[in-house]
């Protein structure tokens, strides 16, 4: 049930090899402007990934209740693969970094890329009202596309209520198919959390609206646009959008949902429509494909440099995290900033991040959710991947705790 290999760049596939030949960007993160300025860590050579530390993180997650955990690092042509535990509690099959899984809110970065491509094509303006493109959808014409993509719209997060009770909430929607307008209607039944642009407040509703914008401006389903604009060009052959289908095709890690009641048996949550999330959280992928995607994104291969700059205009969330347009920045204990997204969907926790130059990427998964100990532990995969062994970290800072809530329902804190 344990595997670890280090290989050469040929394992990355032809697309990533071509990306590695692109000119490197500056290695030192600097503020890109925007709502609040992020700190700029000092430049220093990147230490080698700490495989032993990474394995320790994964084993800790398993000791805390995850059936399995894994991570893949793509480091400028060298691949690190580490997996611990099991993918399927019924068969006992070991988890593998080749397994597909539900990536949850990492989907938001894909959705943002499509919309920023539409900006490049002159079909969308970030500072226009959403109602310009979707007349009458929202109750306030001041809510712009930028507000939606940066979680500053104030639109209430409907899943706070949907999953206030974890397992009953999930079972009620496991096989349900929602329309986008159904989900927006659920949000609008509650008061908004803030005036447009006034504050950051994470909400899946924002990326439901993003999916509606994609479909309105292209005339195609979001899955079609993901495939045409991202999956196919990057040769992401293990990345899928199957909504409203319920199964994960091919070899995959099963997801296990932790009930609210202490000691209750885990619930296999693998098969579901994920219709409650859709363009906010329904993509299926692998660690390889997520690394390839994020590397291409930060290397400027998916949109214009101007749009990538807009994507990296940050709103500070807490002392170590900032949010751009469908993109998170995390500032690590060693002074390095990394870029990507976290993801939670029932049974799966994902961390997928890359360096500013896109040369080193890590994607990590634990196949459980509703377990804040595992959620916090898995953040340590970023430290091991980008900061190296503790003795090699030249600019040590005390890392602030990660946010204690989940992407699924931010208002519902579970310890």
Question: Active-site residues: which are they?
Answer: 105
SS (H, E, C) 323-353: ECCCCEEEECCCCCEEEEEEEEECCEEEEEE
Pairing of strands 256-257, 368-369: parallel
Cβ atoms of 121 and 214 within 8 Å: the answer is: no
Give the alpha-carbon dihedral of 411, 243, 145, 339, to 10 degrees. 70
Phi, psi of 303 (to 5 degrees): -165, 175
Residue 36: name the closest of 247, 274, 358, 329 by CA: 329
CA–CA separation, 359 vs 344, rounded Å?
A: 25
Residue 188: name the closest of 144, 261, 136 by CA: 136
SS (H, E, C) 82-151: EEEEECCCCCCCECCCCCEEECHHHHHHHHHHHHHHHHHCCCCCCCCEHHHHCCCCCCCCCCEHHHHHCC
Buried b (16+ CB within 10 A) or exposed e, 24-52: eeeeebeebebbeebbebeeeebbebbbe
Residue 332: name the closest of 400, 277, 266, 273 by CA: 400
The residues facing 288 across adjacent strands are none
Edge-to-edge, what's the strand order for the sheet holding 368-369?
A: 267-268, 256-257, 368-369
Cβ atoms of 266 and 89 within 8 Å: the answer is: yes
Phi, psi of 266 (to 5 degrees): -60, 150
On the question of a cis peptide bond just before residue 244, with omega within 30 degrees of 0, the verdict is yes
Is 240 strand, coil or helix? strand
């Amino acid at each position: 049930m344990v595997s670890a290999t280090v290989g050469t760049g040929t394992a990355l596939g032809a697309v990533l090899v071509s990306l590695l030949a692109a000119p490197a960007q500056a290695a030192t993160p600097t503020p890109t402007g925007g709502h609040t300025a992020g700190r700029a860590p000092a430049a220093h050579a990147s230490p080698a990934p700490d495989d032993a530390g990474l394995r320790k993180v994964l084993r800790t997650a398993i000791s805390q209740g995850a059936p399995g955990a894994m991570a893949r690092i793509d480091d400028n042509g060298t691949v690190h693969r580490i997996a611990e535990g099991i993918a399927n509690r019924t068969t006992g099959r070991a988890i593998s970094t080749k397994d597909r899984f539900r990536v949850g809110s990492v989907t938001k970065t894909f959705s943002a890329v499509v919309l920023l491509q539409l900006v490049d094509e002159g079909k969308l303006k970030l500072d226009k009202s959403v109602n310009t493109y979707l007349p009458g959808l929202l109750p306030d014409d001041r809510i712009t596309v930028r507000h939606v993509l940066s979680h500053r719209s104030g639109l209430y997060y409907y899943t706070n209520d949907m999953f206030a009770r974890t397992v009953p909430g999930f079972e009620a929607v496991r096989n349900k198919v929602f329309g986008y307008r159904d989900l927006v209607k659920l949000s609008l039944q509650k008061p908004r959390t803030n005036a447009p642009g006034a504050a950051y407040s994470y909400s899946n509703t924002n990326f439901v609206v993003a999916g509606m914008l994609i479909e309105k401006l292209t005339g195609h389903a979001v899955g079609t646009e993901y495939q045409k604009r991202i999956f196919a060009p990057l040769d992401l052959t293990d990345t899928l959008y199957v909504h409203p289908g319920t199964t994960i095709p091919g070899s995959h890690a099963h997801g296990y949902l932790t009930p609210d009641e202490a000691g209750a048996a885990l619930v296999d949550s693998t098969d579901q429509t994920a219709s409650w999330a859709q363009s906010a959280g329904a993509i299926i992928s692998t660690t390889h494909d997520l690394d390839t995607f994020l590397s291409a994104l930060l290397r400027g291969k998916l949109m214009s440099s101007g749009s990538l700059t807009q994507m990296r205009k940050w709103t500070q969330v807490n002392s170590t995290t900032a949010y751009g347009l469908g993109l998170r920045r995390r500032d690590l204990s060693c002074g390095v900033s990394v870029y990507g997204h976290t993801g939670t969907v029932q049974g799966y926790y994902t961390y997928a991040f890359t360096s500013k130059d896109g040369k080193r990427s890590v994607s990590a998964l634990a196949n459980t959710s509703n377990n804040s100990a595992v959620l916090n532990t898995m953040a340590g995969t970023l430290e091991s991947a980008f900061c190296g062994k503790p003795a090699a970290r030249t600019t040590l800072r005390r890392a602030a705790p990660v946010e204690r809530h989940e992407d699924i329902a931010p208002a519902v804190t579970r310890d």
